[in-house]
Amino acid sequence: MTAGTAGSAVPEPYDATPFLPARGGLPAHRRAAADCQGCPLYRDASVTVFGRGNAHARILLVGEQPGDQEDREGEPFVGPAGRLLSKALREAQIDEEDTYLTNAVKHFKFTVKAPGKRRIHKAPSLREALACRPWLEAELRLVDPAVVVVLGATAGRSLLGPSFRVGADRGVPRPLPDADGTQVVATVHPSAVLRSDDREAAYAGLVADLRVAARAAR
């Protein structure tokens, strides 16, 4: 069973744009996002998980999509990946209070092997990430950070294009396309650190990239 397979069809191309409010700040956008049906992922997820944090943050971090715990709590990065990210931010001397955390995709995509079994994360498609991008663009416009940190491939492809590769593109600040002076720094997703065979080295790489982001935000 895959998220978004039941119910009436969502019109194609998938696109969140019709659900965005014409005006308003982050609270208005968070309220509107709760009713987004721009792609089929809304059907099986519990809630829309909008971004959280400092509305005037100098550093905005973009993950992939909410996980199981985020879907239950309605907040991004509150599960194991979020705890690891918080630790890495502290180590890179980035005050989490001065950040804004969000995801490229605002609904949890998952599979279940059988009814009542654990929900297993399934990576969102590029089509779903692009459908959701208007929410991310609105967050970028409203927060207007100095630096955007893309955590992993989904966030990277959403913001930097389909040829983005974490391995090739990480750790180097570059201008965010179509943004006025905002820099972007790519790094690994904290879940990839948790899954890594050499967790210590993967974590050190994440912290090093976050230090680059911290310097770029000064």
| Residue number with the smallest Cβ distance to ligand URA | 63
d(CA 40, CA 165): 26
Cα dihedral sign for 209, 124, 122, 109? positive
In sequence order, the β-bridge partners of residue 102 are: 62
Residue closer to ligand URA, measured from CB, 24 or 96: 96
Binding flag, residue 67, ligand URA (CB under 6 A): yes
Distances (CA, A) of 26 to 21, 30, 101, 111, 151: 10, 6, 13, 31, 22
Binding flag, residue 53, ligand URA (CB under 6 A): no
Binding flag, residue 63, ligand URA (CB under 6 A): yes
CB of 186 to ligand URA, least distance (A): 14
Q: How does DSSP assign 165-182, residue by residue? A: -HHHHBT--EEPTTSSS-
Q: Select from 14, 19, 42, 77 the one that contacts ligand URA (CB under 6 A).
A: 77
Residue closer to ligand URA, measured from CB, 66 or 145: 66
Binding flag, residue 103, ligand URA (CB under 6 A): yes
Residue closer to ligand URA, measured from CB, 151 or 212: 151
The Cβ of residue 126 has, within 10 Å, a number of other Cβ atoms equal to: 14
Extract the runs of DSSP E, i.e. beta strands, from the chain: 52-53, 59-63, 99-103, 110-111, 120-121, 147-151, 174-175, 183-187
d(CA 157, CA 19): 22
Binding flag, residue 51, ligand URA (CB under 6 A): no
Q: Select from 40, 66, 156, 205 the one that contacts ligand URA (CB under 6 A).
A: 66
CB of 188 to ligand URA, least distance (A): 11
Chain residues in the site for ligand URA (CB under 6 A): 63-67, 70, 76-77, 79, 81-82, 103, 191
